[in-house]
Structures are given as C-alpha cells and as structure tokens.
Chains A and B, each alone.
Chain A
C-alpha cells in the first residue's frame, strides 16, 4: 500500500510541540501533568515515548492525538497551528490525519470487524458506505484479518482485535499513527507480531509514535523520548 502524501515542506517536522503544559485542577490542588514539553516528530519517523506510569505520557498522547485541547503552549501539525481549535475542527483533523491505536483496542462490541474498521471512513463522509467498507476490507486483508470480517470483536483473540484496531487506524490513510501501549494487553508472542506490523507500516512510509513503558517495544523504534514528571529528560534532537 502507499501512504504517500503531498507534504508542504518535507524539511519541516510532521508535528511540533513548543512549551506544552497541562495542569489538572482537581479540588483546587493543581496537578502538573506536562511541564513545558518541546518535541517534534519527523516525517516517516518511528518514535517511542517512554516513561513510568504517572510520568505524563498518557497526557502527552492525548495532546498529540488531539483528544485533549486544554493545554498551554503551541502544537503545529504539518505546519498548521492546531492548538486553540474548536472540538469539531479537532475531530475532523483527527479523523483524517491521526490513526489511533489503544491498549484496550476500543472496538465497538456491537459492530462487526468490518464495520469497526470502516467507522472512521464513515465519519469522514467523503465516500459512500460501500466504498468505506471496501477500503476497510483492504486494510483488514493487509493486517491479516481477511477471514474475520463478519466476526464480532468478542469472537477474536486479543491479537486479532489489535490488528482490527490497526486496520481501523489506517483506513483514512493518516499522516500519523499514534499508539498507546499497543502491546500492553497481549502476550509476548502476539506483542511481537503487532510490533512487527508497526515496523512494516513504518517501512512503507507511516509516521508512528508509540507510547509505552516497555523497553522491548521502545527499542524497536529509531528514537526514544523519555518522559518523567511531565518533562522530557532526554532524546531531544
């Protein structure tokens, strides 16, 4: 498959955070989840963000994935300022440009594998439902689930569920794949297969950010960013 995009300026990073801070205000006691994060992801890069639990890596994932907009600082995606955009603008951008993969898969249990994979394309609304399903079928074939299209998620093994979720993340041909502990709920053999799938996607041009606390996963990446107490402690270019 091809994940070719017309990039405006290939020299510039795909995304760049500058001075991003996120503070939760629970019961008046502020919790500083991110403190002035500066980071960039280059095009075609496979980057791992590592840190122990409570380090702020989940918050960073939410910011990168445009799931959380309540931060300070600036976030540019492909040169465009995305910080400060409204919820629907972020939804549309997330829909087209960011493929999300979660530790818990987050498949909808009442839908078939095919329908799950088609969902982001259906919400994009630029093609008919038939075309969406056709594209979903192609992606599912690509991740090796061609024979599980009509199954419900609960009829799949956890490795197959994560493959379905990856197919779903790929369907709109996003510029960034953002995965949150994608192997966290898998046994080591299955985890390796999923990791191999990410590597393969990366080789064919996808920019991928893996958030993990697992060194084995992280070591597969070209570059590791370590995060602790809401700050990046190394890995700066």
Chain B
C-alpha cells in the first residue's frame, strides 16, 4: 500500500506539472460523464411523467369502443352494453358514454358543444376533479333527472367562471340544471388522443340522454377492473361478448392502460438507449481525449521516464504511474460530470420546486464508467511509457 501511495504521489506530481492541460482533459471527460448522468435522469423523469399522465386517466381502466371502420358492425349498440354489463367479470365500476352534441347560445353566438351521457361512476372511473358542486348520482340517473355537470372551459365561456348554483342550460329543448363544474384529473389526458371530456362539454345522466338525445349507439364503455389482476379478465370477457354478438371483434377496440404503459416503456427504453448511445459517444470522445493527452505527456516526459528507469524504477512502476495519471484525470472528470449532471437538475428541481429523481445508480454507473474509460484509454500510453528504451530516452531532449 505504501508503494501505491508513492505512485499516487508521482502521478499527482506529473499532473501538477501540466495543470492547464489536465484541467481541460478533465473538462472533456466531465462533459461526457455529465451527459450520461443527464441521460439516465431524463429517461427516468420522462418515463415517470408519461406514466403519470396515463395513470391519471384512471387506474385499472379498460376501454371498449367501436372503430367506425369495417364491413361488420363497428359501433356498440345498447344491446352490446347490456350484454357486457351482464357477462363481463371482474368489473369494479362501469361508465358507458353516449356522445352527443347540442347548440348553445354563448355570448350571443350559437356554439356547438359536446354532450356526454354517462353513469354516476364516470367521475371516478375517468378521474374527474369537481371544481364546484357535485357529480350526479345513480338515483338521478335512474330517475332521468335533467341535471348536467359542465367542464371548466364551458363554465368559463358560458358563465364567465361565476358560481353555477341555480344556473341551467338548454339542451335538446329542455332545461338542465347545472349541479357541478369539473376538470380532468390530468389536464393533458388529451395526450391519449381520445378524451371526450376535454373542451366545451356538458355531462348528463346516461338514461336521461338516451331518451332525450340523438345518440343511437354507445360511443365508449369505460370499465374499471376491480383489481389490476382483473384487467385481463375484463378485456377477455368483453372480447368474448362482442365475438358472440358479431362473430368477430374486428370492428371494435378493447384496450387497457397496460397497453399504453407497455408502449410507453417500449418507447422510453428505445429513447433511453438512443440517448445512451450519444452519451457513450461523448464518453468515447472524452476517453480519446485522455489517450491523446497521455500520449503527448508520455512523449514530452520521455527523458523523465528514462531518468526514473535509470534510477531503478521498474517497468511496472512507470506503467502504474501513467495509468494512475489517466485514472485521476478521468475520475476527476467523472466527479465534475456528476456535479454538473446531477447538480443541474437538482438545482432546477429546487428552484422550481419539483421532485427530481437523480438516481444514485446513475451516479455510481457514471463513476465506474469514467474510471474504466480512463484505465482503458490510459493503458496504451502507459504501456508505451513503460516499454521505453532507457538509453534512447535519456538522450531525448
């Protein structure tokens, strides 16, 4: 161990002799390491963000809807809904949705808004947040109550955001009392492309709308499975029901969020891999920088090496000294990189008060990788130094 300390001392003396160059090399290595840390963090944060968006739509959710394209029936009938309600197992809550439209005068202009008819479970299943008032109840649905819950956007446009207590809107020539204002649990659930609850929307009880509205098909059935394990049962049973009705499920789509989550994982794995490749290239560049500098150093210090060998240093001493120099450069670069790569997101997270998961694993990986890069790229110059001919190198000026 004493001998390691000695070699470490020689290595540090060597680096000190060329401070500016050593710092620049460390910087190169640091940027490579920082990009590795950043890439790993971005991958994790990005994935968490997208997964959060998807899960915000509702948990254990299965959607069944007609595609609207194909030779066979492609839209869900009320009969299909009845069969699904009867025969699908593992259901926790169910919210069929009728998609209708109505025209409302808004600030003197006729505006078309979406009118959804659904059950009382919809708010839960689709993770709606009530800003004001309440959602309608199952009893109201069963009694054809003419009540409506409106979206935040419609609330803003129609009532200028003022309290809706006692207000009503006319839909299908009937007065609907407004009992609540909602917004979506995750605003950008629209990221899922099909969010019927986004925009200018009024939601009314299913049975009410079935009777007074124009919708003759069920747009979508949201089924919340009773547990994560039941999701597959719900998907399978729904498919079975549709197949027994139509002979195939070609005209319909049955999806669970698992489908999306799997897709997100697949995509984010691909992106992370791509970013890792780029980070790998920058580490490679940093490593080549180290090799380059070490080759220059070895060549400049030829006489120094010759003197050490003449005074009785072993080949191994010289090899170890230059490997250590390369190792110190790369690890110091690694530390710098971790400081930049982890410090920047932590600082931003602190300033903007958002949790930033800088994974400890990415820091450990970055250290390990930068040390290996240093040793790997330092090996060739160090071997060159250790293999020098003493007589020739002593005469070198």
The residues of A with any CB-CB pair to B shorter than 8 Å are: 62, 65, 67-68, 87-88, 91-92, 94-96, 100, 102, 106-108, 110-111, 119-120, 122-125, 128-129, 168, 172
**A65, A88, A102, A172, most chain B CB atoms within 10 A:** A88
Q: Are A110 and B16 in contact (CB under 8 A)?
A: yes
Chain B residues lying within 8 Å of A129, measured Cβ to Cβ, are 2, 5-6, 9
Chain A residues lying within 8 Å of B9, measured Cβ to Cβ, are 129
Chain B residues lying within 8 Å of A96, measured Cβ to Cβ, are 312
Q: Are B314 and A67 in contact (CB under 8 A)?
A: no
**B129: interface (CB < 8 Å):** no
Known contacts A106-B394, A108-B304; is-contact A94 B6 (Cβ 8 Å): no
**B315: interface (CB < 8 Å):** yes
Q: Are B314 and A88 in contact (CB under 8 A)?
A: yes
Chain B residues lying within 8 Å of A62, measured Cβ to Cβ, are 391
Known contacts A62-B391, A67-B391, A123-B317; is-contact A106 B310 (Cβ 8 Å): yes
Q: Are A110 and B310 in contact (CB under 8 A)?
A: no
Q: Are B308 and A123 in contact (CB under 8 A)?
A: yes
Choice from B2, B303, B306, B311 contacting A123 with Cβ under 8 Å: B311
Q: Are B13 and A122 in contact (CB under 8 A)?
A: no
Q: Are B309 and A122 in contact (CB under 8 A)?
A: no
Q: Are A128 and B2 in contact (CB under 8 A)?
A: yes
Chain A residues lying within 8 Å of B310, measured Cβ to Cβ, are 65, 67, 94, 100, 106
Known contacts A106-B307, A110-B13; is-contact A94 B391 (Cβ 8 Å): no
Q: State the Cβ distance, A204 to closest chain B Cβ, in Å.
A: 22
Q: State the Cβ distance, B9 to closest chain A Cβ, in Å.
A: 8
**B369: interface (CB < 8 Å):** no
Chain A residues lying within 8 Å of B71, measured Cβ to Cβ, are none
What's the Cα separation between A164 and B14 when bound, in Å?
A: 21
Chain A residues lying within 8 Å of B131, measured Cβ to Cβ, are none
Q: Are B391 and A120 in contact (CB under 8 A)?
A: no
| Interface residue count on the B side (C-beta < 8 Å) | 26
What's the Cα separation between A91 and B390 when bound, in Å?
A: 10
What's the Cα separation between A198 and B316 when bound, in Å?
A: 33
Chain B residues lying within 8 Å of A68, measured Cβ to Cβ, are 390-391
Q: Are B13 and A106 in contact (CB under 8 A)?
A: no
Q: State the Cβ distance, A119 to closest chain B Cβ, in Å.
A: 5
Contact with A along B1-19 (1 / 0, CB 8 A): 0110110010001101100
Known contacts A106-B394, A108-B307, A110-B13; is-contact A120 B312 (Cβ 8 Å): yes
**B277: interface (CB < 8 Å):** no
Q: State the Cβ distance, A134 to closest chain B Cβ, in Å.
A: 16
**B313: interface (CB < 8 Å):** yes
Q: Are A95 and B307 in contact (CB under 8 A)?
A: no
Q: Which of B159-206 contact A (CB under 8 A)?
A: none
Chain A residues lying within 8 Å of B17, measured Cβ to Cβ, are 110
Q: Are A125 and B315 in contact (CB under 8 A)?
A: no
**B309, B315, B391, most chain A CB atoms within 10 A:** B391
Q: State the Cβ distance, B384 to closest chain A Cβ, in Å.
A: 15
Known contacts A67-B390, A106-B394; is-contact A95 B311 (Cβ 8 Å): yes
Chain B residues lying within 8 Å of A108, measured Cβ to Cβ, are 304, 307-308
Q: Are A123 and B312 in contact (CB under 8 A)?
A: yes
What's the Cα separation between A92 and B314 when bound, in Å?
A: 7
Chain B, Cβ-Cβ closest to A168: B311
28 A-B interface contacts by CB (under 8 A): A62-B391, A67-B390, A68-B390, A91-B309, A91-B312, A91-B313, A91-B315, A92-B312, A92-B314, A94-B310, A94-B312, A95-B312, A95-B313, A100-B311, A102-B394, A106-B394, A107-B307, A110-B16, A110-B17, A120-B311, A123-B308, A123-B312, A123-B317, A124-B312, A129-B5, A129-B6, A168-B311, A172-B312
Contact with A along B285-318 (1 / 0, CB 8 A): 0000000000000000001101111111111110
Q: Are B6 and A122 in contact (CB under 8 A)?
A: yes
Chain B residues lying within 8 Å of A111, measured Cβ to Cβ, are 13
Chain A, Cβ-Cβ closest to B5: A129
Q: State the Cβ distance, B290 to closest chain A Cβ, in Å.
A: 21
Q: Which 7 A-B pairs have the closest CB atoms?
A: A95-B312, A120-B311, A110-B17, A106-B307, A67-B390, A88-B314, A123-B312
Chain B residues lying within 8 Å of A124, measured Cβ to Cβ, are 312
**A67, A68, A107, A122, most chain B CB atoms within 10 A:** A122
Chain B residues lying within 8 Å of A91, measured Cβ to Cβ, are 309, 312-315
Q: State the Cβ distance, A100 to closest chain B Cβ, in Å.
A: 6
Q: Are B315 and A88 in contact (CB under 8 A)?
A: yes
Chain A residues lying within 8 Å of B391, measured Cβ to Cβ, are 62, 67-68
Chain B residues lying within 8 Å of A67, measured Cβ to Cβ, are 310, 390-391, 394
Contact with A along B232-276 (1 / 0, CB 8 A): 000000000000000000000000000000000000000000000
Q: Are A125 and B303 in contact (CB under 8 A)?
A: no
Q: Which of B42-69 contact A (CB under 8 A)?
A: none
Chain B, Cβ-Cβ closest to A115: B13
Q: State the Cβ distance, B2 to closest chain A Cβ, in Å.
A: 7
